[in-house]
């Protein structure tokens, strides 16, 4: 299914990955409805930074993913739904797990129910590598046991199961996109790479972090978005789960070193106990196997980590005022 001229809904369009996906869909010639979170300021998140001529091409829909009536209205007449709206901060999920259930599970249910009623041709539900927990073997393929270690991960695992149940029970054409750690311009300071960059770029000689030994598989945002697009257009993907990753791992300690080199700075790291997850909740290792997605739609990552970090650092240096580098962003 070619996305040109297709009616496409993106939930979470105001966020990091969502805004990049909207940009790409504009280039693909899709007719986009962007579901953004209602707020009294009428802010559309990162879409507010788009040029006016680009915004005119987007049908902005302001609502709340937890509201089934609003979601149904947003899904009407759509061919494809990219469901990215979610609460994603792991530390905040320790504090407010109820809100994660409402947003990530019930919100996904609302999307699935609406898509079923409106006979949407394809739904792509955004998952997360966090649901695997610490790797029991590497590289992690889609058959790896699901072992969520935080309330956030648990709600995403439940949302995945709901989506697959709608495929099995109602033949809803749904696929699960499971990105490993996506990074790039516009990412929230709650994530590790913006946390490091903003502290260093703001002139701090000592930066505060949590666990330095944990390893992650980082994927540049344009690669992640390309994975969404390729899966949306591919045949035979319904009912499947697809990892999107770079196939390389790096420890947080080495990540700090690499970012410091890119920025041309020398820094020390101080452990901030607030940033350390509870022992049984820490995911120590993630490394993706992306053989499946390569086979079904030919997707492969194109951006190496250092190359992506250079682009990301440049963007953050130019947009540092948009971030609160002096606080712990939960």
Show which residues are catalytic: 152
Identify the CA nearest to 319 among candidates 184, 208, 221: 184
Q: What is d(CA 286, CA 280) in angstroms, rounded to the nearest whole number?
A: 16
Token digits for 99? 């809100």
Cβ pair 188, 151 in contact under 8 A: no
Token digits for 25? 């869909």
Cβ pair 217, 246 in contact under 8 A: yes
Torsions phi, psi of 126, nearest 5?
A: -85, 125
SS3 content of the chain, % helix, strand, coil (to 5): 45, 20, 40
* 175 dihedral zone (left: phi>0; alpha: psi -120 to 50; beta): beta
Identify the CA nearest to 142 among candidates 240, 221, 249, 219: 240
The helix (H) or strand (E) run that includes residue 118 is helix 107-118
Identify the CA nearest to 183 among candidates 216, 210, 213, 214: 216
Residues 6+ apart with CB under 8 A from 122: 1, 79, 80, 81, 173, 174, 175, 232, 238
Q: Are strands 122-126 and 241-244 parallel, antiparallel or unpaired?
A: unpaired
- Three-state DSSP class for 237? coil
Cβ pair 73, 33 in contact under 8 A: no
């Amino acid at each position: 299914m070619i996305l040109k001229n297709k009616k496409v809904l993106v939930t979470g369009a105001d966020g990091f990955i969502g805004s990049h996906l909207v940009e790409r869909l504009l280039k693909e010639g899709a007719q986009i409805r962007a579901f953004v979170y209602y707020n009294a300021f009428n802010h559309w998140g990162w879409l507010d930074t788009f040029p006016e001529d680009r915004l005119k091409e987007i049908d902005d829909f302001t609502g709340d993913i937890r509201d089934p009536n609003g979601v149904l209205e947003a899904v009407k007449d759509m061919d494809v739904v990219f469901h990215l709206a979610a609460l994603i901060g792991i530390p905040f999920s320790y504090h407010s797990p109820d809100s994660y259930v409402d947003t990530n599970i019930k919100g996904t249910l609302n999307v699935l129910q609406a898509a079923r009623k409106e006979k949407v041709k394809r739904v792509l539900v955004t998952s997360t590598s966090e649901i695997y927990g610490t790797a029991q073997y590497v590289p992690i393929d889609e058959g790896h046991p699901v072992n969520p270690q935080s309330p956030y991960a648990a709600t995403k695992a439940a949302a995945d199961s709901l989506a697959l149940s709608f495929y099995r029970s109602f033949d809803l054409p749904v696929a699960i996109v499971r990105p490993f750690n996506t990074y790039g311009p516009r990412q929230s300071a709650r994530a590790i790479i913006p946390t490091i960059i903003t502290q260093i770029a703001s002139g701090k000689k000592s930066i505060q972090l949590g666990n330095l030994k944990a390893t992650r598989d980082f994927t540049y945002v344009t690669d992640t978005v390309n994975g969404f697009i390729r899966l949306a257009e591919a045949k035979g993907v319904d009912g499947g789960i697809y990892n999107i990753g770079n196939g390389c791992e790096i420890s947080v300690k080495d990540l700090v070193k690499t970012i410091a080199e890119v920025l041309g700075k020398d820094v020390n790291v101080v452990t901030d106990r607030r940033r350390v997850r509870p022992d049984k909740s820490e995911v120590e290792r993630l490394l993706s196997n992306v053989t499946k997605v390569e086979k079904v739609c030919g997707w492969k990552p194109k951006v190496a980590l250092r190359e992506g970090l250079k682009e990301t650092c440049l963007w953050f240096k130019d947009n540092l005022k948009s971030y609160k580098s002096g606080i712990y962003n939960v």
